[in-house]
Amino acid sequence: MTAYAELQTTSNFSFLRGAAHPEELVAQAAALGLAAIAITDRNSLAGVVRGHLAAREAGIRMIVGARLDFTDAPSLICLPTDRAAYGRLSKLITLGRRRAPKGECHLALADFFDHCDGQIALALAPDDGVADDDTFVRHLRRLGAALPGSCYLAASNPLAGTLVNNTIAQNGKEGVYAGWYDSGYSTLTLTNNIIASHTTGIYAYPDLNPNVVTATHTLFYGNNHDTGGSIITSTEEITGSDPLFVDSAGRDYHLRAGSPAIDTGASIPWLTSDVDGDPRPWPVGGGYDIGADEAHWGQVYLPQVLKSSG
| Vertex 23 angle, CA 19 and 25, to 5° | 55
What does the pLDDT look like over 262-303, one tens digit per residue? 999 999 998 899 988 899 998 888 899 999 999 986 554 445
- pLDDT for 207 equals 61
Q: Which string of DSSP letters, residue by residue, matches 221-269?
A: ES-SEEEEESEEEEES-EES----EEETTTTEEEEPTT-TTTT-SPP-T
Q: Which residue, 294, 288, 293, 169, is CA-closest to 221?
A: 169
Give the span between the Cα atoms of 158 and 9, in whole angstroms.
Answer: 15
DSSP bridge pairs for 194: 167, 219
Q: Which residue, 231, 183, 174, is CA-closest to 204?
A: 231
Give the span between the Cα atoms of 171 and 139, in whole angstroms.
Answer: 43
**Domain ranges, ordered by start, for the chain:** 2-153, 159-255
Ranges 124-128, 226-230, 250-254, 299-303: which has the least confidence = 299-303
User: Is it true that domain 2-153 has CATH number 3.90.1300.10?
Assistant: no
pTM above 0.95, yes or no: no
Q: Which residue, 29, 114, 134, is CA-closest to 70?
A: 114
Q: Which string of DSSP letters, residue by residue, matches the chain?
A: -EEEEEEEE--TTSTTT--S-HHHHHHHHHHTTEEEEEE--BT--TTHHHHHHHHHHHTSEEEE-EEE--SSS--EEEEE-SHHHHHHHHHHHHHHHHTS-TT-----HHHHHHT-TTEEEEEPPPTT--TT-HHHHHHHHHHHHHSTTSEEE---PPEEEEEES-EEE--SSEEEEE---SSS-EEEEEES-EEES-SEEEEE---SS--EEEEES-EEES-SEEEEESEEEEES-EES----EEETTTTEEEEPTT-TTTT-SPP-TT--B-TTS-BSSSSTTSPPPSSS----TT---PPP------
DSSP bridge pairs for 66: 78
Average pLDDT, the chain: 86
- pLDDT for 259 equals 95
- pLDDT for 17 equals 72
What does the pLDDT look like over 106-125, one tens digit per residue? 999 999 999 999 999 999 87
Under the banding of pLDDT at 50, 70 and 90, the label for residue 182 is very low
Instruction: Give yes or no for residue 150 having a pLDDT over 80.
Output: yes
As a whole-number percent, the residues of the chain with pLDDT over 90 amount to: 52
Ranges 4-18, 68-82, 152-166: which has the least confidence = 152-166
Ranges 168-172, 221-225, 236-240, 258-262: which has the least confidence = 168-172
CB 175 within 8 A of CB 155: no
- What average pLDDT score do residues 170-199 get? 77
